[in-house]
Amino acid sequence: MAETAAILSPDKIVLLPEIKAGCPMADMATWEAVKKMKEELPQVVVVSYINTSAAVKSLSDYCCTSSNAVQIVQAISPEKDILFIPDQNLAQFTAQKTKRKIIPWTGYCPIHHSLSKEEVLQAKKNHPQALLLVHPECRPEVCTLADYIGSTKGIIDFASKSNHQEFIIGTEKGIIFPLLSKNPDKKFYWASERMVCPDMKLISLEKILYSLKELTPQVTVPAPLRKKSLQAINRMVEVI
């Protein structure tokens, strides 16, 4: 995500308070592996999730987010097959919504992918009045049990607009802060207590303060790579 910010705003300073705070899912799709797949499937349209490296974006035709993946795929010619990188669960969710042939990459978010059907059923048993809200990075068998499937913002908006007072949340636990801020009188329960991203938690207030004071570590993308990567991002923006 820091690389994406640098791609979009090359003249601005982009800071990543903890340089080791990466994304295991993004690491599951390397430039070498994607390039090889493109050589094997030369006619395929490559759609890469925003959670990919700048290098992978440079090989992509479109970028997408969890909130606009369906919209992006719908904008692609129905005659084209699509390679969706790197999240297999979001790929399957998007394929179901668009009725399109999508070739999923064999990657996943370790946090969302770890949520099991059994955990969700237990949470629903414990809180029978609550609606289940999950992220599309969750497994298909989890998504089929959900009352709503959407991005982090989508989950927050749904809970805020809903007349229901209780919700089971199937995404990273950091979402609780905006949920409670917007809905102090509503109740939220976790689909699993394990839904904590260790990479996100590497960034502390102390590290943010240090980063702002010292303007380091900075994230930059070399100009040739940035130019190639920007094309896929711009195509996404043109669609939405």
- Are 156 and 182 in contact by the 8 Å Cβ rule? The answer is yes
**What is the band of 29 on the pLDDT scale with cuts at 50, 70, 90?**
very high
Answer yes or no: is pLDDT of 208 > 90.
yes
Average pLDDT taken over every residue of the chain: 95
Checking if the pLDDT of 240 tops 90, the result is no
CB 106 within 8 A of CB 81: no
CB-count exposure of residue 46 (10 Å: 0-12, 13-18, 19+): buried
Six-digit token pair at 119?
């955990």
Tens of pLDDT, residues 108-165: 999 999 999 999 999 999 999 999 999 999 999 999 999 999 999 999 999 999 999 9
Instruction: Enter the pTM of the model.
Output: 0.91
Q: What percent of the chain has a predicted confidence (pLDDT) above 70?
A: 100
Overall average pLDDT of the 204-213 stretch: 96
| Cβ–Cβ < 8 Å for 125, 132 | no
**Mean pLDDT across the stretch 185-197?**
95
Is 1's pLDDT higher than 90? no
pLDDT of residue 70: 96
Span 210-224, mean pLDDT?
96
Question: What is the rounded CA–CA span in Å between residue 137 and residue 117?
Answer: 14
Q: List, in sequence order, every residue forming a beta bridge with 188; answer none if it has no partner.
A: 167
pLDDT tens by residue, 59-76? 999 999 999 999 999 999
Q: Considering only CA atoms, which of 136, 127, 185, 192 is closest in space to residue 160?
A: 185
Domains in the chain, CATH or no CATH each: 2-109+216-239 (3.40.50.10800), 115-194 (3.40.50.10800)
- Percentage of residues of the chain with pLDDT beyond 90: 99
pLDDT reading at 90 higher than 90: yes
pLDDT of residue 37: 95
